[in-house]
Structure 1
C-alpha cells in the first residue's frame, strides 16, 4: 500500500514538474553560492568559481594556525605596508585591485581584528588600519569587554541572568582561535536557509494531496469501505508523507552541500564560527553550525508538511492544503514585522528555517530562571509537536465520513 501511495503521488504531472523545479533550484542556488567566493589575481582581474576558490584557499591557508599575538602583529604589519603602497594610494581602481590582491590572503584575519575594534553592533572595515601591535594582543579580552560595555549601555534590555549567560558564553570560548580558509563553509551557511525554504515549500506541495485525493477523485467510499482502509491504508499515507519529506530533504540538502563544498572546499570545518560571526554566543565550529541549521530546517519542513496533510484531511481540499506551508513559512515572517511581540515571534515555526540568523544574532529565552538560546528551545519543542500531530492526523482521517 505504501508503494501504491508513492506511485500515486509521482504519477501526477504537476508533482513531476515540482520535482523538476526543485532540481533547477538546486542548480541555480549552488551556482549563486559558489559565486560568492571571489579571487583577484596580481593583475587585478577578478574571478569566481573553482579556480577562484582554489587560489584563495591556497593563499589564506599560508596563515593557517592559531591566531596568536605574534600572528596578529604580523598581519597588521603586512596590512600597513600594503595600505601605504603606491597601488593602494592610487586613484586608479585597477591599481587598487592589484593592492587588494596582495592582501586577500589575510582578509579573514583582518575581519576578525576589524570586528574586535568596532562598535559592538557595528562594523568598521578600516579599524585594523588604526590598531597598534600592543592593542591587538588583547583582542580576545576586547571581545568580552565590548560585550560588557554594550550590556551596561542599556541599548538593549536584558535580565541579569541573560547578561550573566552572555558573558559566561564569551568567556568559555576557546582562544586563541584556530584559523584557516573558511569561505566555503561561510558561503554555504549564508545561503542554505534560502534553499531549505524553497525545498520545504515544494515538499509541502508534494504531500498536500495525500489525504484529500480520495475525496477529489470520489474514491473515498471505496477506500474507507476496504478492509484495511481505516487502519493500514491511513498508515500508508502517513508513511508516504514522512518518507517524501525525509528523503527529499536529506537528498537535496546533501546534494546542495556536496556541490558547494566540492567546489569551494571543506577547509575550516572545525574553526570557530566567531571567525565569521564575531558576536555569536554559540561556542561551536562551522560544521556544528551547519548540522544545527540542517536539523532545524528538517524539523521546520516536517512540521509544515504535517500541517499540510492535516489540513488536507480536514478540509478534503488539496489547494487549501498547498497554501499551508506558504502561510507557516513565508507569511508569518511578514506578520512578525508588523506585530510588536518579539518574544512570541521568536517561537513562530518559520524560525526553524532561520537558525543561521539565531546563531549570528543569538536570541535568548529565559524559562524558569534558566537562560537558553532560541534555537536550542524551538527545535526540540517543534520536534515534540510533530510527534503529537501524528496520532491526531491518524484519528481525524480515520473518522472521516464519505459523502
Structure 2
C-alpha cells in the first residue's frame, strides 16, 4: 500500500511542480515581509523619512524598552516623559489611549489606578451584541485571569506573521483543491485500474491509497508553505516576543483569554490546517461523484464562490453556518478582536475551539462518504 500511495502522490504533484510551488511561495513571502518592513518608516509632515524602518526596529528591539504596564509606566506615559517617535514608544502611547475615551494627557490618577478595571469594562462592551448578558459576563470574567501588569516588549515579527496569515492561508485554501483534482482521475500510465481488477481487495486498497495521498499532498503543501512564510516574516522582522501576551497589541487589548503570540500562532496554524483538510475532503467528495476533472473543477469553483459571496449582515447565518466554512475559518482576527460567544450546556466555548471540533466532524463525514461512494463505483465497474 505504501508503494501505491507513493505512486499516487507523485501522480498528483510531481517533484518538479512542488519545487516550483516552493520557489513561488518563497518569493511571495520575501516580498510580503519586505512590504511589512517598509511600514515602519517614520515620516515628518513633509513626507521625508526621519527614522528608517531598520533603525526603528533596531532601537525598539532593545531590552531596555521592555517594561511592565504598571502605574509607574502609565504615569510616565501621561506625563510624556518619552516623546520619541520610535515604535516602542508610539505602541505604548497608542495602547494606553485605546483603553479610554479621552486623550492620554487628560488621564487622571484615578484613571491610571483603574486601568485594568477599565479594560475589563471595555471587554464587555467589545462583546456586546454577540450573546445574552449573562454569557457576556461569563466570558468577560476570563479577562480577570489576565496576568497583570502586562509585560510589554517587541513582538512585531509575531504580530505581522499572525495578521498576514489571514490572506496567505486563504490563498493556499483556494489553490490546494485544484492541485488534488486528479486524485480520482484516471491515468493509464500508473496502471492503477489493473490493480483493483486483478486483486481481491485491490479496489479498497486503491481507494484508501488515493485518499491518503490526497491528504498527504495537501498537508505537505500547507506545511511547507507555512514554514517558508513564517521563517521569512520572522527572519526579517524578528523572532523576539513569542512569549508576550497578545494583549500588548492595541488590536487585541480587549481579548478576554490569556494567550501569548506563540500560542496565537499555533492556534492559527491548526485552524488553517483544519480548514485545508475540510476543503480537501469536500473536494475529494466532489471528484468521486463527478468523476471527470473538469466537472469537479466546476463544483469546486462554485463552492468557493458561494463561500466568498455569503452576506455578512446576517448574524444567525454567520454564527451557526458561515463561521465554520473554510474561507471564514481563516479570518483569524475574528477570534481575537470581536470573538463570538458559543454557550454549550452552560459552558462558554472559545470560537476557535468549536471551529476545530466542527471541522474535524465535517472532515470525518466527508471522507467517509468519499470512501463509500468510491467503493460502490469501483465495484460497479467490475460487473
Q: Structures share a fold, TM > 0.5?
A: yes
- Structure 2 unaligned segments of length 5 or more: list them: none
User: Aligned equivalents of 1:62 and 1:47: distance in 2?
Assistant: 20
Superposition map of 1:367-382 within 5 A: 367-382=344-359
Deviations 1:229-275 (A, max 9, x none): 40222222112111111111112101111111111112221211112
Q: Are 2:8 and 1:10 equivalent residues in the alignment?
A: no
1:241–1:34 Cα change, 3 Å: farther
What is the rounded CA distance, in whole Å, between the counterparts of 1:328 and 1:161 in structure 2? 37
2:77 aligned partner: 75
What residue is the counterpart of 1:225 in the other structure?
A: 197
Trace 1:257-296 onto structure 2 (pairs within 5 A): 257-276=230-249, 277-296=252-271
Give the length in aligned residue pairs. 369
The answer to whether the Cα contact below 8 Å between 2:155 and 2:240 also exists between their aligned partners in 1 is yes
Q: 1:132 to 1:201 in 2, by over 3 A?
A: same
- Contact map agreement 1:214 1:223 (CA 8 A) in 2: no
Match of 2:374 in 1: 397
Give the 3-state SS of the residue equivalent to 2:168 in structure 1. Answer: helix
Deviation (angstroms), 1:384? 2.8
> Per-residue displacement from partner, 1:90-142 (whole Å, max 9, x unpaired)?
xxxxxxxxxx63x5431121122111113xxxxx7xx3232235522321111
The aligned counterpart of 1:347 is: 324
Q: In structure 1, what is the equivalent of residue 165 of structure 2?
A: 192
> 127, 130, 149: which one pairs with 2:106?
130
Cα deviation per residue 1:270-307 (whole Å; 9 max; x = unaligned)? 21111221121222111111111110000001110111
String of CA shifts for 1:7-59, please: whole Å, max 9, x gaps: 22234998876666545433443333444444569x943534x555323323x
Q: For 1:301-380, list aligned pairs within 5 A.
A: 301-322=276-297, 327-328=302-303, 331-337=306-312, 341-344=317-320, 345-380=322-357
Closer, same or farther: CA 260–201 of 1 in aligned 2, 3 Å: same
Distance 1:104 1:7, change over 3 A: closer
Mark the CA change 1:31 to 1:330 in structure 2 (over 3 Å): closer, same or farther: farther
Q: Offset at 1:326?
A: 5.1
Separation of aligned partners in 1, 2:209 and 2:122: 56
Structure 1 position 208 matched with structure 2 position 181: yes
Matched, 1:169 2:173: no
Tell me how far apart the structure 2 counterparts of residues 205 and 337 of structure 1 sit (CA, whole Å).
27
Work out whether 1:297 is the aligned partner of 2:297. no
The structure showing larger relative contact order (alpha-carbon pairs under 8 Å, at least 6 residues apart) is 2
Per the alignment, residue 110 of structure 1 pairs with 93
Residues 103-112 or 173-182, more deviating: 103-112
Q: Find the counterpart in structure 2 of residue 86 from structure 1.
A: none
Aligned-CA RMSD value: 3.1
- Contact in 1 for aligned 2:7/2:190 (Cα 8 Å): no
- Name the counterpart of 1:56: 60
For 2:210 and 2:39, how far apart are their aligned partners in 1? 41
TM-score, normalised relative to structure 1: 0.81
4+ long deviations beyond 6 Å: 12-17, 217-220
SS in 2 for 1:366: strand
